[in-house]
Amino acid sequence: MMEWTDRHCRSFHRALTTEAVLYTEMVTTGALMHGDVPRHLDYSQDQHPVVLQLGGSEPNDLARSAELAQQWGYDEIDLNCGCPSERVQRGAFGACLMAEPKLVADCVKAMQNAVDIPISVKHRLGLDSMDAANSEKDYQFALDFIMAVADAGASQVTIHARNAVLKGLSPKENRSKPPLRYEVAAKLRLDAQKQFPNLKVLLNGGLESNDQIAGHWHDFDGFMVGRAAYHFPAMLLGWDDMINTNGDAAGYLFSETEWHRIQIALVKQVQSWFDECQAKGKPFYIGAFTRHILGLAHGRAGSRYWRQRLSDHHALAKVQSKAAILDFFIDASLTLGDWAAFDFESA
């Protein structure tokens, strides 16, 4: 998610789950061909496995971007053919690429020929007024797209199980107004795997709880969760058990012990980033990290003060030492009752 799942967000999420695969925000080929490559690709090594999601439609640029991704140590490359924003459309990539399966296949081939790491594609169920649930033609459109990218060498596709409306709906409306068709996505997986049995098909769109994910566990090879994981990050605490029990363990316990473990991990991550900024002569601002963790104490008594402190720009700007980082997190936790105190020194 652009401007959301940056390197700091991913480090935070890795403190909650060791098994889940993390995805970057979408990075355009133009940003890598003509921009600041370290700014877009640098990350901390604690994030693996981590996937670079690319936006683009020119095979040669995507191949070069893929080479950069491999050089920077990313574990996989994901081509975004699902973003419906008009700004992305003007760049001739995102969801509008679903109308050009041959071009997407050429892009996949170019990347696969350039690197050794896997290539995946994220896409929508269809475009505009298509109805893959009731129209054989529209269903075939979606299946043909999957078959084309699989034949080109994609090892995985992620289906956002609703249409992308390219004109008339905002990106936000595109995440809610087109109806979700999980049953169609599940059927596409079965049909695609008849010809490509090793192709992994993941589900995306409208997944808001671990119980909901568990309900679809055996219909897909994995799940991509975006906004729910961002706004209610505690759900990630159940993911390792879900993965290791094949979907049977959907619950999780967010205990005082877990809270303290995560707090200590956060302090260490931010202190490590502070050291990096010092070494590279870059400005340090703790708010670049704290903006991603506002939802961690969701539902907990005292969480309002937690969110206020993490959003107080005057207080954030004053945090300019490793000791101040620790003091800031301790202060932010003051109203969280039994959860407040954590022993950083003995960790």
The conformation of residue 54, written as its DSSP 8-state character, comes to: E
Rounded distance between C-alpha atoms, residue 294 and residue 288, angstroms: 12
Determine the angle formed by the axes of helices 322-332 and 303-311, rounding to 10 degrees.
150
- Residues contacting 110, CB < 8 A, separation 6+: 59, 60, 62, 63, 66
Please give the distance of CA 60 from its chain centroid, rounded to a whole number: 25
The answer to whether 233 and 295 are in contact (CB under 8 A) is yes
DSSP 3-state of 89: helix
What is the spatial distance between Cα 342 and Cα 322, in angstroms, rounded to a whole number? 16
**Residues in Cβ contact with 172 at an 8 Å cutoff, skipping those fewer than 6 apart:** none
Q: How many helices (H) and strands (E) would you count in the chain?
A: 17, 8
Burial of 322 (0-12, 13-18, 19+ CB in 10 A): middle
- Residues with catalytic function: 83
Q: Centre a 10 Å sphere on the Cβ of residue 343 and count the other Cβ atoms it contains.
A: 8
Contact 5, 24 (CB under 8 A): yes
Measure Cα distances from 203 to 206, 254, 287 in Å: 10, 26, 32
- For 212, residues 6+ apart whose C-beta sits below 8 A from its C-beta are none
Determine the angle formed by the axes of helices 256-280 and 322-332, rounding to 10 degrees. Answer: 150
